[in-house]
Amino acid sequence: MVRKLFGTDGVRGRANSHPMTAEMALRLGAAAGLYFRTDGQNRHRVVIGKDTRRSGYMLENALTAGLTSTGMNVLLLGPVPTPAVGYLTRSMRADLGIMISASHNPHEDNGIKFFGPDGFKLSDAAEAEIEAILAGEIAPAQPANIGRAKRIDDGLGRYVEYAKTTFSSAARLSGLRVVIDAAHGAAYRAAPDVLWELGAEVIPMGVAPDGFNINKACGSTDTAAAAELVRESGADLGICLDGDADRVMLLDETGAVADGDQIMALLAARWAAQDRLRDGTLVGTVMSNLGLERHLQGQGLRLERTQVGDRHVVARMREGGWNLGGEPSGHIVMTDYATTGDGLIAGLQFLAAMADTGQPASRLMRCFEPVPQLLENVRYSPGADPMGAETVRAIISGSEARLAGRGRILIRKSGTEPLIRVMAECEDEALLAEVVAEIVDTVRSVA
């Protein structure tokens, strides 16, 4: 079955526009309820979390109505990080977990992500089956079988306590000054609490959500304000989360940024030394820097690449039995601890390295020298097929030959916009710029 409603990470769109309307959320909740409530009994439960967007109230209520109408019992967590929903779905023996969030997008957008009873995001096949139910008549439950809904006050506290158990250093964080930027999002309470309770001196920012300021000039996609605060306060580390806290960017004591590739490089080396990195393999995506791959090879480790998207990373990790993966964008997936990317727990793992080694962040987060990378997007007209053009195929083939042994090229369609993404890496920056410019010009000529 083909998915039309579900994208690369659940259902997403502009709030109060299709498909992010109250009507669609109600029907989607009812369809998911029918999919999971297979025996007609009222013992099935679903946990629902959300970030801090104003539209979350609307979607939460609509989903609850749809789910209870088909007999599901709903447990409302309130604002919690996406990884908390994955954890609590499994911990609370729920049949389904739902996170209402558009992650790093602005407040105008929202999304709905589904987790199965194992705490992992639903498979493509499961999402397609829910879409099939949605397309037909959805029979409501009989009056005696309508589900219940209630607020769960200790869900966030459960996650906070669990996150603290993942801090792997024997030392506490006493003496470390940490800036935490929660992006006015889902971790605005959890992240500062965890760090403070582990002993850090916490300097919070992005912890005053008003429903509209999520990800606005803050968080993992805009680290400038956090970097300035790190320098002004003399902090040892900055941790920048996104709106639902499944991504992280780290800042050293000078305010310099470490992306997901640098974080993964450090964790892979530490875990390999501790004999914890399964099969000596790190799972990344096609976007991970060539420098990371070469760095791992030099240590006798391997980079397994997947398509872009944390769901693809997790799927490959589960297939291969590997326990560490992620993306340059800051999704760090550690299946020993979480079922999806967890920015806070990734930050704790980095802090553990600082506590264990006594080294500053600037030394730990420069594991390899990235190969120069250039990325440009080319917008194309509806109905056009630039990738199918003979001239485009020819220029790509010729460029790959020019970079053979010195770099690589990745050309792909965006999964969410009519864009062709042109990315190349090469130590020769002049050649890199020339190759990318030629490909971009050729794509534009047929777009």
Q: Where are the beta strands (DSSP E) in 264-311?
A: 281-285, 302-306
Sheet holding 281-285, edge to edge: 302-306, 281-285, 324-326, 332-334
Burial of 14 (0-12, 13-18, 19+ CB in 10 A): middle
Known catalytic residue: 103? yes
- Tell me if 183 sits within 8 A of 106, measured CB to CB: no
CA distance 99 to 53: 12
Report the 3 state secondary structure along 160-174: HHHHHHCCCCCCCCC
CA distance 432 to 118: 44
Q: Write down the catalytic residue from 103, 168, 220, 399.
A: 103
CA distance 146 to 133: 19
In this structure, the chain runs to a length of 447
- Distance in Å from the first CA to the final CA of the chain: 30
Task: Please name the helix (run of DSSP H) or strand (run of DSSP E) that holds residue 13, with its range, or none.
Answer: strand 11-14
CA distance 176 to 156: 25
Q: Give which of 278, 303, 447 is closest to 378, Cα–Cα.
A: 447
Question: CB within 8 A of 148, min separation 6: which ones?
Answer: 68, 73, 74
Task: Report, as residue numbers or ranges, the catalytic residues.
Answer: 103
